[in-house]
Amino acid sequence: MRALVQRVSEAQVSVGGAVIGEVGAGLLILVCAMQGDGPEAADKLAAKIAKMRIFRDDEGRMNRSLLDVGGGALVVSQFTLAADTSRGNRPGFSAAAPPELGEQLYHHFVRAMAAQGVPVATGRFGADMAVALINDGPVTIWMDT
């Protein structure tokens, strides 16, 4: 699985002008299931993200995890993270998992984040979503299992 993790002061996702998920201080996680991924990839990614020390400690160093700070996660599916831009001007997305499997793994990832003890809000798989955020830092990290 692939994820783009952003430390945020706040973030929200809307569909058709209605907010369907939001989070205060915590993480916006854009996630994509890739060809060959299974539930174990979702579990591994969720555990890594929940424990990743990217929040400031009392001395201002990135030394605290999402779990340490009690932050939430807004998880949004984004198949475009699978983009292959190596040829031409139009990205290819054949590396993404098929939609049915992608949706299953997206929901598995959401459950795995919650199982880590993280409050989770979500977007809607396959929907045309608008995402708004205030990136804190900015801190943006690319992850790939």
Judge whether 85 counts as a catalytic residue: no
Query: According to the model, what pLDDT value does residue 80 have?
Result: 96
22-58 exposure pattern, b = at least 16 Cβ within 10 A, e = fewer: ebebbbbbbbbbbeebeeebbbebbeebbebebbbee
Instruction: Count the alpha carbons within 13 Å of 87 in the hemisphere toward its beta carbon.
Output: 2
Query: According to the model, what pLDDT value does residue 3 have?
Result: 98
pLDDT, tens only, 18-50: 999 999 999 999 999 999 999 999 999 999 999
Helix extents (H) in the chain: 39-51, 66-69, 99-115
Query: According to the model, what pLDDT value does residue 37 have?
Result: 98
Choosing from 6, 12, 55, 79, the catalytic residue is 79
pLDDT band of 94, cuts 50, 70, 90: very high
Would you give the distance in Å from CA 98 to the centre of its chain? 18
Judge whether 78 counts as a catalytic residue: yes
Query: According to the model, what pLDDT value does residue 43 have?
Result: 98
Mean pLDDT of the chain: 97
Mean pLDDT of the 97-125 span = 98
Query: According to the model, what pLDDT value does residue 121 have?
Result: 98
Choosing from 35, 80, 93, 140, the catalytic residue is 80
Q: What single-letter DSSP state applies at residue 34?
A: B
Judge whether 79 counts as a catalytic residue: yes
Mean pLDDT of the 70-90 span = 96
Q: Which residue in 103, 59, 57, 60 sits closest to 78, CA to CA?
A: 103
Choosing from 6, 12, 55, 78, the catalytic residue is 78
pLDDT, tens only, 114-145: 999 999 999 999 999 999 999 999 999 999 99
Structural domains for the chain: 2-138 (3.50.80.10)
Cα–Cα distances in angstroms (integers) from residue 58 to residues 63, 69, 103, in the given order: 9, 11, 39
